[in-house]
Amino acid sequence: MKKFLTAAIITTTAVFSLSNAEAQSKFGYISTEELISIMPETKKADSNLTQFRTALVQNAQDKESTLQSAIEKFNKDSVTMSGSVKDVKRGELQKMLTDLQSEDQRIQQQLRARQEELIAPINKKAFDAIQAVAKESGYTYVFEKNALLVAPPGEDVLPLVAKKLNVKVPVKGQAPANRGQQRLAPADNK
């Protein structure tokens, strides 16, 4: 009986402690997409990526112009060339054409790499700010707002994190200046 009473007391204490711990849990949520969209670093990164994309596209267009000029020159001069020289020139033109055809894929790879390079520090800064706000404000859990279908009651921590980062949260119904654009996404252009 004494063992039963001791076990009952320990179980009751554990249940009350667990209930008390759950009652002390503080839940928050945030849209990291929205947070990142209002960070000034994102606008700068978007601009940087656009400039990089423009440079890559211009380079591809220059290569295409060079190929066109080489083809025109070959067509004009081929009348006076020997068969062996024609074969060598055709091989050079074919290599230029092959290189140009793989240019789009190379541009996409370079854009993805640059995008990852630019967005990584922004994501880290946002995550660090979320962590700091959670710790300072006593949040036990902070969830991604857009990833949850059902969640315990919580508070939107976006205003707190935005304040920590010294950025303004747009008024409800007013989108941030760069929102709605596909942020830091590579173009499908050549």
pLDDT tens digit string along 39-85? 999 999 999 999 999 999 999 999 999 989 988 988 888 888 888 88
On the question of pLDDT at 173 being above 90, the answer is no
Return phi, psi of residue 174, to 5°.
-115, 115
Do 139 and 133 touch, CB atoms closer than 8 A?
yes
CATH of range 24-165; options 2.40.160.20, 3.30.379.10, 3.40.50.2300, 3.30.910.20:
3.30.910.20
**Residue type at 32?**
T
On the question of pLDDT at 161 being above 60, the answer is yes
3-state class (DSSP) for residue 103: helix
Helix 158-165 to helix 103-137 angle (10° resolution) is 100
Q: Where are the domains of the chain?
A: 24-165
d(CA 113, CA 97): 25
